[in-house]
């Protein structure tokens, strides 16, 4: 009978064997390629799906809790709530945004603002997980993120590249969840550094690399005859996919130096702006789901000092991304989603900050969504939902709907529990053109 320790030792042997034979270390971020247990499709589940309106998703995640009152849902007539923030007109009739978003004000005819987002928790870890997965955080199971669902149902957009990419440094990202690890994201901490560790060791020629690869194949064949084929093949596949990536011409997608300096400047020469530029390049090369995070929205202190700076970063990159995609004819096929895990209190605290609050705003651009509209509303003080409450599962269902995912298809986890995309979320179908 196999034990976890035995499995671990076999994995270590395989890893060392591949490293020594091939002369290439496994990418730290290539764990997403490991196969896992096969999942069962629920019998009798509906297989019909809607026609996709978007091929790609760029999800811009505002980590920490973005205040709706200082961004997408300003309340200029309520000074106690608004503080010093003024509202400005936009390119969309009847739609106002914060003065901190002047570039996006000119792009709002492309955007749909959902001002009635509400989550069930105002704790960072739980709300972050809920936003990404549509499920509550549990110690017994890890649920897939939306990119993993896309990869599971539709596979990679480019066989040589990862199914989706996460640009940021948040270790709490749910990744593949209970899906095989190959459906999880490639993690990129620094978009300007390119993809690291994708070259053979110094002195290893193509000929020598090929010989080592052939030797590894022969050793794998013998090893697979002795041990569980599925488990061994998972680790063998890692190196097969790693080699495929190393030799792919599409690897250039990760190299931002190929972009003109004027383009890089337009996005903002910061990590988030360059991450958004990387997202555009990855979409061009067939990566279908990219998440880029912008942190530090946890503004309990000095909200009106920190938020303008954060908004400037977001405003610059998002407006440039919309313009860039539109000029390249890619905005209709690419859905941009801007969201956070929760919002901030209407009440301004004694530290001139805003505390955690379950009400917030999200923005959707492109991918078949109507532009220049608002959906839902909050009360005049921003403290409650006035119309059309939307939860994270509904937002995720809307993303899934745009991608043509079968929202009602039941998938059984390795523990035999049934799950669907976005749980019980309902797509906002009337937001589509």
Rounded CA-CA distance 102/88 in Å is 8
361-376 mean pLDDT: 98
Burial of 4 (0-12, 13-18, 19+ CB in 10 A): exposed
Mean pLDDT taken over the chain: 86
Is beta strand 385-387 parallel, antiparallel or unpaired with respect to 359-366?
unpaired
Q: Which tens digit of pLDDT belongs to each residue from 207-254?
A: 665 666 666 666 666 666 666 555 555 555 555 555 566 557 889 999
Taking the C-alpha atoms of residue 167 and residue 10, their distance in angstroms, rounded to an integer, is: 32
**The pLDDT value given to residue 221:** 66
Instruction: Please give the model's pTM, rounded to 2 decimal places.
Output: 0.85
| Average pLDDT for 403-415 | 96
- pLDDT band, very low/low/confident/very high, at 4 (cuts 50, 70, 90): very low
- Alpha carbon 34 to its chain centroid, in Å, reads 20
What domains, with CATH codes, occur in the chain?
1-33+197-254 (no CATH), 37-194+255-431 (3.40.720.10)
Helix (H) or strand (E) holding 388: none
pLDDT reported for residue 181: 87
Looking at residue 390, what DSSP letter applies? Answer: B
């Amino acid at each position: 009978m196999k034990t976890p320790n035995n499995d671990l030792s076999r994995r270590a042997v395989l890893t060392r064997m591949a490293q020594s034979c091939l002369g290439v270390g496994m990418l730290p971020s290539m764990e997403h390629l490991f196969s896992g247990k096969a999942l069962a499709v629920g019998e009798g589940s509906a297989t019909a799906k809607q026609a996709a309106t978007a091929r790609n998703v760029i999800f811009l995640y505002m980590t920490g809790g973005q205040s709706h009152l200082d961004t997408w849902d300003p309340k200029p007539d309520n000074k106690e709530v608004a503080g010093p923030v003024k509202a400005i007109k936009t390119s969309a009739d009847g739609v106002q945004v914060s003065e901190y978003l002047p570039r996006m004000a000119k792009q709002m005819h492309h955007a749909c603002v959902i001002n009635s987002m509400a989550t069930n928790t105002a704790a960072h870890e739980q709300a972050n997980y809920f936003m990404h997965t549509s499920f509550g955080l549990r110690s017994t199971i890890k649920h897939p993120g939306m990119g993993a669902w896309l990869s599971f149902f539709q596979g990679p957009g480019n066989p040589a590249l990862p199914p989706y990419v996460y640009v940021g440094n948040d270790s709490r990202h749910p990744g593949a969840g209970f899906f095989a690890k190959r459906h999880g994201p490639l993690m990129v901490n620094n978009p300007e550094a390119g993809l690291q560790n994708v070259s053979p060791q110094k002195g290893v020629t193509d000929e020598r690399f090929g010989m080592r690869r052939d030797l590894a194949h022969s050793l794998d064949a013998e090893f697979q005859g002795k041990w569980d084929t599925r488990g061994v093949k998972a680790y063998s596949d890692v190196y097969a996919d790693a080699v495929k990536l190393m030799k792919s011409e599409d690897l250039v997608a990760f190299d931002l130096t190929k972009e003109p300096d004027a383009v890089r400047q337009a996005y903002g020469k910061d990590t988030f702006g360059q991450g958004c530029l990387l997202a555009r390049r990855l979409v061009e090369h067939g990566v279908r789901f990219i998440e880029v995070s912008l942190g530090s929205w946890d503004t309990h202190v000095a909200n009106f000092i920190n938020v303008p700076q954060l908004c400037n970063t977001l405003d610059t990159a998002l407006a440039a991304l919309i313009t860039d995609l539109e000029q390249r004819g890619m905005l209709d096929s690419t859905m941009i989603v801007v969201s956070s895990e929760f919002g901030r209190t209407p009440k301004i605290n004694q530290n001139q900050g805003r505390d955690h609050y379950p009400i917030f705003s999200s923005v959707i651009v492109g991918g078949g969504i109507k532009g220049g509209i608002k959906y839902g509303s909050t009360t005049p003080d921003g403290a409650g939902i006035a119309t059309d409450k939307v939860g994270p599962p509904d937002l995720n269902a809307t993303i899934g709907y745009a991608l043509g995912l079968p929202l009602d298809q039941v998938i059984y986890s390795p523990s035999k529990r049934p799950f669907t995309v976005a749980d019980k979320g309902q797509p906002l179908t009337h937001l589509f053109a």
